[in-house]
Amino acid sequence: MSDLHAPEAPATHDGHDPDFPIVVRGLRNAFGEHVIHEDLSLEVRSGEILGVVGGSGTGKSVLMRSVIGLQQPAAGEIHVLGRDMMHEETAEDEIDIRSRWGVLFQGGALFSTLTVGENVEVPLKQFYPDMSDSLRQEIARFKVRLSGLPEEAALKYPSELSGGMRKRAGLARALALDPELLFLDEPTAGLDPIGAAAFDQLTRELKETLGLTVFLITHDLDTLYAICDRVAVLADKTVIAVGTIPELLALDHPWIQEYFNGPRGRAAQASEERQQPRREPLAQTAARGLDATDARIKNTGPQGTDIRQSGGA
């Protein structure tokens, strides 16, 4: 494994270091005799956007699904926000941990029979069943705006939206519960270059303004250069290196060199160098058009009601 791999996170008295909200050690995933991951370890730092890359079949999505409890690994340890994801917990523990992350699956994974606003309300209904309809609807409208969509998009069905708008609608739902962690699976796949760049900038904006930690699976080199603080490389059934792009470029692993120094990698690097001086300042992209009332405080509803404490009552 590369020397760039993150050092083992020092444990606190309860086994959780807040500087590492996601810790994976010795992970093994297999489907029958087909081994996907073997002795995979990875640590995600608080407040970073970690890009996860690898060739086809390296199990990027399987890794994400393992972290969020949708895939049961054969062996290993997974700790998310201090919770041991590999062992049974109480129903209350499960509800608590799942309310602290948001997930954008490939394609948005929206319910086709629900409007965008109703899609965003789904996790609010699930985790805060006593929340009033008016508060839930107001939060949904706010999340729609926060994702960069016009408020009227909340009334549309997924089939009425473009691909980019569906991605943003899925992002609005992922943000519904004010998560600490945001998981994005190929968020710019299928988008044109302009739409992909706008989504990248929105992701960075939300990370900065909401204090998110982002686990981002992508094959998009432009995304890696534009917004990722570090990149984890999956190959040979494990994470072979974690580091900044300049650090990865210094390694002599053949896949890393082919990926980052190939024609598309060089083009992405050149594009990033051209775009960097012209980047719009933070707080002028994702939240553009939101008034002061809209953006008044994270985790709140009308009159500053904290949805985590009140349940919307």
pLDDT for 228-274, tens place per residue?
A: 999 999 999 999 999 999 999 999 999 999 999 876 655 566 566 65
Mean of pLDDT over the chain: 85
Average pLDDT over residues 212-216: 99
Residue 270 domain boundaries: 45-69+90-294
The answer to whether residue 262 is domain-embedded is: yes
* pLDDT of the residue at 298: 38
Q: Which of 40-49, 111-120, 194-203, 290-299 has the lowest mean pLDDT?
A: 290-299
* pLDDT of the residue at 267: 58
pLDDT in tens, 70-90: 999 999 999 999 999 988 677
The answer to whether residue 230 is domain-embedded is: yes
* pLDDT of the residue at 262: 74
pLDDT in tens, 154-183: 999 999 999 899 999 999 999 999 999 999
Which strand ranges, in their side-by-side order, compose the sheet holding 101-104?
A: 101-104, 181-185, 213-217, 49-54, 230-235, 238-243
* pLDDT of the residue at 264: 65
The answer to whether residue 30 is domain-embedded is: no
The answer to whether residue 228 is domain-embedded is: yes
Q: How many CB atoms lie within 10 A of CB 183?
A: 22
Q: How many domains does the chain have?
A: 1
pLDDT in tens, 28-54: 999 999 999 999 999 999 999 999 999
* pLDDT of the residue at 273: 62
Average pLDDT over residues 9-21: 62
78: left (phi > 0), else alpha (psi -120 to 50), else beta? beta
The answer to whether residue 79 is domain-embedded is: no
* pLDDT of the residue at 36: 97
Query: What's the DSSP call for residue 18?
Result: T
Q: Which of 110, 249, 258, 83 is nearest to 173 (CA)?
A: 110
* pLDDT of the residue at 63: 98
The answer to whether residue 310 is domain-embedded is: no
Residue 186 and residue 155 in contact, taking contact as beta carbons nearer than 8 Å: no
User: What pLDDT band is residue 108 in, cutting at 50, 70 and 90?
Assistant: confident
The answer to whether residue 195 is domain-embedded is: yes
Buried b / exposed e over 258-279, threshold 16 CB at 10 Å, is: ebbeeeebeebbebbeeeeeee
* pLDDT of the residue at 284: 45
The answer to whether residue 7 is domain-embedded is: no
pTM (predicted TM-score): 0.83
- The domain spanning residue 118 has which CATH number? 3.40.50.300
Pairing of strands 230-235, 238-243: antiparallel
* pLDDT of the residue at 308: 46
User: What pLDDT band is residue 91 in, cutting at 50, 70 and 90?
Assistant: confident
* pLDDT of the residue at 217: 98
